[in-house]
């Protein structure tokens, strides 16, 4: 990178647009039903009036800020702005109930900053080698990788094995509804045209968390409503505590980075895997779900590391690692630029300005998140009588804005009502979400592997076992399964002995 490119990175208009995009991204991420992808897609036309670098930096800022923004409402009112903030809600909201919302928000922003910076630094320095590794992942490797993510459910789920398996099966089933992408046949649509495109993950998440939580609060008496308490804690105290947990941050950031590089998996899988690994390696896994800061650190570090990871294959190979990265790729092509290896040959200045400029998105996110913490908890001081309709309106708008279809609104409301019953019967929600997210990867890559194996006149198991990466991932999968059943058996013995 020469001096001229460095000077362009530090231009005030580029920095300003990047930080402005980050602020917009935080807002999009915090509003239930909206997310970074929606924010980037809505503001994409504006970038046509800007220079390629300025437009890309604004979109990149929205992407980075949107991945963090969902944690704000997740911590404060147990309503994740996006699926990526789900695990943060599991730990952050219990901390809010304990009067530790400020502490949870500090952990969230500092972990997001660390993960975001790790992702961007890897984007800058490790794009070529990491992209080459991702290219070696074929259908068999993607299949086993997705099964590994599903095996993590064993770590996340409740102590009841059958309830966990039921929840996982329910999540897998819900994603099969709609048109089969390979045969174009309709499955479980019952002749309802709106179900042909399947159930949207945003509508499911809104139902699980937003509508279910608001429905629960509607039935509460005034005395039962949450009373806001704010225990003051210094930023320096949180930073010192977080430094002592550096292994959690580093491990989760690497998980988010690597999953972000793999096309089609997305941030939702990354945060579940990182959260599951944090719980698995914790000395006190029973504290997860009750306000454990390790869960927040792991989820948020992985969450924002995905941003840099998903941009690596986009810039190096022309293969977007996420839907949001795909929209950023569309912005590049709309300016007449070709994404992939030729980008660094013909328009290296645009690529390097974008990569280095993304560090300002991380810095802007940290500043807004850190100094905004004094303002964010004010949402909890709003009387539930006013807060419930406000959140419901945003949720209804968010559900409708997915596909501009009222069917998604009905799905979110119905799922919210069903969720109340699931919680009452102690059915865990995390396996449902993980099953829903991973079903497409599992099904499509299994069928692709089967087609390739058949074409080569091989048994599918033999075909998978002839690939070194598949063998390595298969061993990891077996370790997860053995660990899960061993853990479940030990817990049964402890219950019986007590």
Question: What are the Cα distances from residue 169, in Å, to 18, 147, 175, 411, 428?
Answer: 42, 13, 10, 19, 12
How confident is the prediction for the chain on average, in pLDDT? 80
Give mean pLDDT, residues 109-116.
Answer: 93
Q: Is the entire prediction scored with pTM above 0.85?
A: no
Confidence of residue 195 (pLDDT cuts 50, 70, 90): confident
Residue 292 has pLDDT above 50, yes or no: yes
Residue 237 has pLDDT above 80, yes or no: yes
Give mean pLDDT, residues 216-238.
Answer: 65
Q: Which residues contact 209 (CB under 8 A, 6 or more apart)?
A: 32, 78, 79, 80, 86, 89
Residue 497 has pLDDT above 80, yes or no: no
Taking the domains of the chain in order of start, what are their residue ranges?
Answer: 3-497
Residue 78: CB atoms within 10 A of its CB come to 22
Q: What is the pLDDT of residues 446-493, one digit of tens each?
A: 888 889 888 888 888 888 888 888 888 788 778 777 776 776 666 666
Residue 137 has pLDDT above 90, yes or no: no
What pLDDT is recorded for position 468?
81
Residue 221 has pLDDT above 60, yes or no: no
Cα–Cα–Cα angle for 423, 290, 476, rounded to 5 degrees = 85
What pLDDT is recorded for position 117?
94
Give mean pLDDT, residues 386-405.
Answer: 75
Radius of gyration of the chain (CA): 22
What residues pair up with 178 in beta bridges, in sequence order? 187
What pLDDT is recorded for position 134?
55
Residue 222 has pLDDT above 50, yes or no: no
Confidence of residue 154 (pLDDT cuts 50, 70, 90): low
């Amino acid at each position: 990178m020469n001096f001229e490119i460095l000077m362009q990175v530090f231009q005030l208009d580029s920095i300003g647009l990047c930080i402005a995009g980050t602020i917009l991204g935080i807002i999009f991420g915090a509003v239930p039903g909206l997310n970074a992808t929606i924010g980037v897609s809505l503001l994409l036309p504006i970038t046509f009036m800007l220079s390629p670098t300025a437009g890309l930096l604004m979109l990149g800022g929205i992407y980075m800020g949107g991945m963090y923004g969902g944690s704000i409402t997740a911590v404060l009112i147990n309503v994740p702005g996006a699926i990526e903030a789900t695990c943060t809600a599991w730990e952050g909201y219990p901390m809010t109930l304990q009067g530790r919302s400020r502490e949870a928000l500090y952990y969230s922003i500092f972990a997001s900053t660390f993960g975001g910076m790790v992702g961007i630094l890897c984007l800058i320095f490790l794009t070529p080698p990491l992209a080459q590794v991702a290219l070696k992942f074929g259908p068999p490797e993607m299949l086993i990788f997705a099964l590994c993510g599903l095996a993590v459910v064993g770590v996340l789920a409740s102590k009841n094995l059958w309830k966990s398996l039921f929840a996982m099966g329910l999540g897998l089933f819900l994603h099969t509804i709609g048109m089969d992408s390979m045969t174009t046949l309709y499955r479980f649509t019952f002749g309802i045209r709106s179900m042909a495109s399947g159930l949207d993950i945003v509508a499911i998440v809104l139902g699980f968390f937003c509508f279910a939580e608001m429905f629960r609060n509607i039935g509460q008496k005034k005395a039962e409503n949450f009373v806001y308490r704010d225990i003051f804690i210094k930023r320096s105290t949180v930073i010192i505590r977080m430094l002592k947990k550096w292994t959690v941050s580093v491990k989760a950031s690497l998980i988010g980075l690597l999953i972000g590089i793999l096309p089609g998996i997305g941030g939702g899988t990354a945060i579940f895997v990182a959260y599951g690994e944090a719980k698995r390696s914790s000395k006190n896994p029973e504290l997860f779900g009750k306000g454990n800061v390790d869960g927040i650190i792991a989820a948020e570090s992985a969450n924002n590391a995905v941003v840099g990871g998903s941009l690596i294959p986009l810039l190096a190979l022309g293969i977007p690692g996420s839907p949001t990265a795909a929209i950023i790729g569309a912005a590049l092509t709309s300016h007449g630029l070709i994404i992939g290896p030729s980008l660094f040959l013909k328009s290296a200045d645009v690529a390097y300005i974008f990569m280095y400029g993304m560090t300002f998105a991380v810095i802007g996110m940290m500043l807004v998140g850190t100094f905004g913490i004094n303002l964010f908890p004010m949402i909890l001081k709003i009387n539930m009588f006013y807060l419930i309709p406000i959140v419901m309106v945003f949720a209804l708008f968010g559900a409708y804005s997915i596909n501009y279809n009222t069917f998604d609104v009905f799905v979110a409301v119905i799922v919210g009502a069903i969720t109340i019953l699931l919680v009452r019967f102690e059915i865990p929600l995390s396996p449902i979400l993980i099953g829903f997210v991973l079903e497409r990867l599992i099904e499509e890559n299994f069928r692709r592997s089967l087609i390739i194996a058949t074409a080569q006149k091989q048994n599918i198991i033999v075909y998978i076992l002839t690939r070194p990466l598949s063998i390595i991932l298969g061993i990891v999968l077996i370790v997860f399964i053995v660990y899960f059943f061993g853990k479940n058996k030990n817990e049964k013995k402890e219950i019986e002995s007590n």
